Structure formats: C-alpha cells, structure tokens
Amino acid sequence: MRKFSLGKWTLPVYSTLAFIYLLIPIAYTFVFSFNDTFKSNISWRGFTFDNWVNVCDQQGVCEAFGSSVLIGVISTLIATAMGTAIAIAIVRYRFKARSMVNLLLFLPMATPEVVLGAGLASQFLSMGVDKGIVTIIIAHVMFCLSFVVVTVKARVASLDPALEEAGRDLYASPSQVFWKITFPLLLPGIMAAALLSFALSFDDFIITNFNAGPATTFPKYVYTAASKGIPAEANVVGSAVFLFAILVVVTVQVRGAIKAKRLAAIK
C-alpha cells in the first residue's frame, strides 16, 4: 500500500491554484469580449462575434490602442538605443562617477510610480511644456531606460573578450568588430530588453496619467471606462494582445528548441 505524502502534493497543488488565480482576470476579459452588450459590459447578455469583427465601432478604443502602440514603439527604440550604449560604457570602461551612475540608474526602478509621475508632471508644468504624446514618451523613456540598462548589462558582462580580440587580430576596424561580432552577440539581450521596455510602456497607467494631458492611451481609456464596465471592444483588444504575446513566446520557445536539437545532432 502506497503512503500518502503531503509534501509531494503541496507544491503541485499550490502551483495549480496560483496559476488558476492568475488566469481568472484574463479568462474574464476573454469571455466578456464576446458579450452582446448594450450600454454596459457588467453582466452577461449573450454570445456574439460582433465585438471582434467591429472592434473599432466603440468610440475611442482603436485610437487609444494606436496611441499606446505608437508611444511604446518610440519609447522602446529610444530607451533601447540609449540603454545599450550606457550598459556597454558601464561594463567596458572605467570613468569618474561610474558608481554614482550605476546608483542613479537604479533609482527609477526603486522609486514609486506615483512619485516619479508627479515629479515629472511638476517639472513639465514649471517649464511650461504642454502635456501630450511627447511628454508621455519622455516619461516612458525615463523609466524604461533603467530596465534596458540592467538587462543588456548582464549580457555585456557575459561576453568573452577573446572573440573581439580575435576580430581585431584579423585587422577588423573597431566598427567592424562591433557590428560583426559584438552586436550579434548582444542582440538576444537587446531584444529581451526591447520587449520588456515595450511591455512596460504599453501597460503603464500611473506615470502616463500624470503626464498625458488630453492624450489618451489604452490603459487610460480602460480606467476611464471601468465605471460602466469595460467595453467589450476593449476586452477584444486586451485579449488580442494577450494571445499575440502567447504566440510570440511559443514561437520563440519552439525555435529555440529546434535550434538546440540541431546543435545537439551536429555534436
């Protein structure tokens, strides 16, 4: 007779319950994206595909989503380019105040968003800057930059300098060494940092709300509409973004597994 082991089942049960708990809001959003709504999306009234087919019929949904994508892409490009350069400089070079720069880069990550957002809003106000898309991008670059530096810095620190030395021994110029050797080796870390930066920018509400002015992003639109029940079309956009993220993750994992299998077969 096999003995029942509480310790053996504790972790699987706990993990399953935690997973279900995390998926409940996502499942609710996905289910209510098919709700046949009239004025609110609080109670279930029937199943329909119209919300997915005519997602832009709800006023403001697609405009807010487009603004979030635009802000996220621009913020990501700027933060990734600046963060990669800073990460390389911190790891590879010795300069005055290097420790101070490292400390200052961590401050936006440790500072509460409400403090960072309010501080930026006060600064824009004192400078007489009109709030809008530009101020949101500046704010997003500011807090995304730290995450990019931390992510890329770990990748830079793991590089083998001998590979770059080999390129220089073969008479490659500094630019050739960077673009042919260093950059391809850094690319996985840069891509990871860019994806993280875009996710943080697209998802942000607190800092955005302080610095948006009349501009509306998707999180801001959802917050404003939540009092009447988030419109089904907004649930459609949220569900589509989630499904797209899952597709990207699965694709990357499958490609990585195939590549690892091929390398193992070669060896």
- Note the pTM of the prediction, 2 decimals: 0.83
Secondary structure of the chain in the HEC alphabet?
A: CCCCCHHHHHHHHHHHHHHHHHHHHHHHHHHHCCECCCCCCCCCCCECCHHHHCHHHCCCHHHHHHHHHHHHHHHHHHHHHHHHHHHHHHHHCCCCCHHHHHHHHHHHHHCCHHHHHHHHHHHHHHHCCCCCHHHHHHHHHHHHHHHHHHHHHHHHHCCCHHHHHHHHHCCCCHHHHHHHHHHHHHHHHHHHHHHHHHHHHHHCCHHHHHHCCCCCCHHHHHHHHHHHCCCHHHHHHHHHHHHHHHHHHHHHHHHHHHHHHHHHHHC
How far, in Å, CA of 54 to CA of 62, rounded?
Answer: 11
* pLDDT by 10s per residue, the chain, length 267: 556 566 677 888 888 899 899 889 888 888 888 888 776 777 778 888 888 888 887 778 889 999 999 999 999 999 999 999 999 988 888 878 778 888 888 888 888 889 889 999 998 989 888 899 999 999 999 989 999 999 999 888 888 888 888 888 888 888 888 888 888 889 888 998 999 999 999 989 999 999 988 889 999 988 887 766 677 888 888 888 888 888 888 888 888 788 888 877 776
Domains in the chain with CATH codes: 70-223 (1.10.3720.10)
